[in-house]
Amino acid sequence: MKLKSTADFSNFDALDIRAGRIVKVEDAETKKPTYRLTIDLGLEIGTKVSCGAYRNYSKEALMGKTVICVMNFVPKEMGPEVSEVLVLGVANQSGETIYLTTESDVPLGGQVF
């Protein structure tokens, strides 16, 4: 995979990346099989919705997991769904998306730096 062009640190610094806990998993009403995740980002932020292709996980396996989210992208319309945050992930060798998580418990809404 080819590397992208060099970015200035200000590009990274402009992103608001935080940790949240998945509190609800539903089937999304999208063309592709997608989950609608409700993510708790702590008292100050509250909950946000993310629609993502994490169908390689069961709903039960996603519940309660800590995920890493980009908070300040413009909400994305996906059919009748609106994804408010982007859950970060990496494709494995089979092309399935594996979510990024923390090694141990962190405060909900905790900022990635």
CA–CA separation, 93 and 14 (whole Å): 30
Q: What is the pTM of this model?
A: 0.92
* Residue recorded with tokens 């806990």: 21
Report if residue 4 sits inside a domain: no
Report if residue 9 sits inside a domain: no
Per-residue pLDDT tens over the stretch 79-110: 999 999 999 999 999 989 999 999 999 999 99
What is the domain count for the chain?
Answer: 1
- We report the CATH number of the domain holding residue 61 as 2.40.50.140
Pair type for strands 81-83 and 76-78: antiparallel
HSE-CB of 81 using CA atoms within 13 angstroms: 22
CA–CA separation, 88 and 109 (whole Å): 15
Report if residue 2 sits inside a domain: no
Note down the domain range covering 22.
14-99
Least Cα distance to 86 among 96, 77, 75 occurs for: 75
